[in-house]
A = this chain, B = another copy of it.
Amino acid sequence: MFIEIDRDSDVPLFEQIYQHIKRQILNGEISSDEKLPSKRQLQNDLSVSMTTVESAYDLLLGEALIYSRPKSGFYTVHIEQLQHVKPPALHHKVNRPAEKSYTLPLGTIDTSIVQSDVLKQIAREIFSNDELLNMGDESGEKELKEQIRHYLHINRGVNCSLDQIFIGPSTEFLLEQVLFLLKYPAVTIEDPGYPVVKNILRRLESPVDYAPILKDGIDVAAVHTFNNQAVHLTPSHQFPSGVVLSLKKRIRLLNHASAAESYIIEDDYDSEFRYTARPLPSLQGLDKNDRTVYMSSFSKSLYPSLRLACMVLPQSLAEQYFETGLACNVPRQMQHIIAEFMKRGYLDRHVNRVRKIYREKMIRITEWIKDNYEEAEIYGEHTGMHFMLRIPGKDLRQSAERYGLVHGNSYSDLNSMTDTVLIGIGEKDAEEIVGILKKFFESLKEG
């Protein structure tokens, strides 16, 4: 066997011998069940030490590329040739759909409102605690659940025990878990509505019906007619219309769910940022019959990249969660950072402070529109970080595209929102937003 070895190389000699024989076997240059030179013979041929040869043969044995026959020597195993179906390519080019970037996006915040100095300090403390490096409670940390229970009880009227609270990285993630717990039921959802919800239902092959949004919230009669095992809705601030579900409808939904033994999945989206009157109590808080799954995210109330959300499950679904071995998938340290942030009162203060900032922005912008463009109609300005702007009868698709505004039809399968754009107020300051809208309105007059 001819093996060229390089005594000046950084690669050890045993490694060179091993690599050479391996390559020959894999390339079919040595056929299967062929006898290799004995260790002594190879040692003499190459003028290397016995240890070197032994190390090389041990590696080949370890990878089952050769085998030994007692009192005979070493033989190559039979190895198939690796097939190349396609022309070889080391790095694949992956085509990614272009991401739309908006001038006034809906989910983006002005990051200077977040008290990152406090977060930084708490992170330092939490990362010093080695006890948090092993796994904790798979459903979420007790310390965080305690804070969430208190917060949701005070602010949203939610009533539950700690074991009914489950942590997750996002409401989308939690929704998938709920759909599994409900055995992928048929679901009634809102139209217009949050497209990610539709996406998840499609992905998990749950059948879907659409209920339209009326001025006091989802069309309850439609929900009852569909009579699906679950209805998913955003009662605090319907996305994207901004409509708040009336108390009357809340009660009708709850009573129907009790009678039909179906479930209400309440995504309490944007409930923190209600500017006029007080928020209506959550459906979960009104529910006396365990028909509501409540969920809420910290993406809006704290910051979008946090990836932290929670849900409250009725008793039977909570027990199923534990039995079927679901898991929260949120880093334990991150849970403790937010638990501490809440425990020290920073979340309450943050939400109060930010609510004021958004309210002032919202008033400044919508008043300016009302004063200058009478034909414009504004919806959903009493809650949240965006509002709907409608110019009745006007097709806004082209202008929205041109000014990078979010067009209403992005959120309606029924394309019912041609004359509507959505204005996010989270990222830019009020004067900047007014400036952009001014140009937008002027272009409409020209067009």
A308 to B, closest residue via Cβ? B331
- Check if A293 is an interface residue, CB within 8 A of chain B: no
Interface-lining segment among A33-41, A160-168, A431-439: A160-168
Contacts of A107 in B (CB 8 A): 135
A88 cross-chain contacts in B, Cβ below 8 A:
288
Residue numbers in B under 8 Å from A93 (CB-CB)? 161, 163, 315
Asked if A230 is at the interface of the complex by the 8 Å CB criterion, the answer is: no
Which residues does chain B contribute within 8 Å of A124, judged by CB atoms? Answer: 120, 123-124
Instruction: Encode A60-98 as 1/0 by CB contact (under 8 A) with B.
Output: 001111000000000001111111111010111111110
- Whether the pair B114, A134 counts as a contact (CB closer than 8 A) is no
Query: Quick check: B94 and A319 within 8 Å, CB to CB?
Result: yes
Closest chain B residue to A255, Cβ basis? B83
Quick check: B135 and A305 within 8 Å, CB to CB?
yes
A172 at the interface (CB under 8 A from B): yes
Interface set, chain A 236-268, CB cutoff 8 A to B:
246-248, 251-252, 254-255, 258-259
In the bound complex, what is the Cα–Cα distance between A203 and B204 (angstroms)? 11
Q: Which of B199, B289, B303 contacts A133 (CB 8 A)?
A: B303
Q: What's the dominant secondary structure at chain A's contact region?
A: loop
Among B91, B109, B123, B252, point to the contact of A160 (Cβ < 8 A): B91
B120 touches A127 (CB 8 A): yes
B170 touches A280 (CB 8 A): no
Do B135 and A304 touch across chains, with their CB atoms under 8 A apart? yes
- Whether A65 contacts B180 by the Cβ 8 Å rule is no
CB pair B278 A59 closer than 8 Å? yes
Chain copies in complex: 2
Assess the A251–B80 pair: CB atoms within 8 A: yes
Q: A127-B116, A130-B114, A133-B304 are in contact. Are A247 and B65 (CB under 8 A)?
A: yes
- A88 CB to nearest B CB, Å: 5
Bin the interface of chain A by size. 35 or more
Looking at A320-328, A342-350, A384-392, A413-421, the stretch in contact with chain B turns out to be A320-328
Contact assessment for B62 and A276 in the assembled complex, using a CB-CB cutoff below 8 Å:
yes
Answer yes or no: A334 CB below 8 A from chain B CBs.
yes
Cβ of A277 under 8 Å from chain B: yes
- Taking CB atoms, residues of chain B closer than 8 Å to A79 are 247-248, 251
Residue A359 CB within 8 A of the other chain? no
Q: Which residues of B contact A315 (CB under 8 A)?
A: 92-94
- Which residues of B are found within 8 Å of A5, using beta-carbon distances? none
Residues of B within 8 A of A92 (CB): 160-161, 163-164, 290, 314-315, 318
Judge whether A64 and B247 touch: CB under 8 Å.
yes
Q: Given contacts A62-B277, A96-B163, A247-B64, is CB(A111)–CB(B135) below 8 Å?
A: no
Asked whether B333 lies within 8 Å of A305 as measured between CB atoms, the reply is yes
A 285-315 contacts with B by CB, 8 A: 286, 288-290, 303-308, 314-315
CA–CA, A318 and B170, complex, Å: 22
The verdict on A400 contacting chain B, using a C-beta distance below 8 Å, is: no
| Nearest chain B residue, comparing its CB with the CB of A202 | B324
Q: Chain B nearest CB: distance from A307 CB in Å?
A: 5
Asked if A185 is at the interface (CB within 8 A of a chain B CB), the reply is no
* Chain A interfacial positions (CB closer than 8 Å to B): 26, 58-59, 62-65, 77-86, 88, 90-97, 107-109, 111-112, 114, 116, 119-120, 123-124, 127-128, 130-136, 159-161, 163-164, 169-170, 172-173, 180, 196, 199, 203, 216, 246-248, 251-252, 254-255, 258-259, 276-278, 280, 286, 288-290, 303-308, 314-315, 318-319, 322-325, 327, 329-334, 427
7 further A-B pairs in the complex, CB-CB below 8 A; given A80-B248, A133-B304: A80-B252, A86-B288, A96-B319, A119-B127, A170-B329, A306-B331, A307-B332
Q: 17 A-B contacts, Cβ less than 8 Å apart?
A: A59-B277, A59-B278, A80-B248, A92-B160, A94-B161, A94-B164, A94-B315, A94-B318, A94-B319, A97-B323, A116-B130, A133-B303, A133-B304, A134-B427, A135-B305, A180-B203, A199-B324
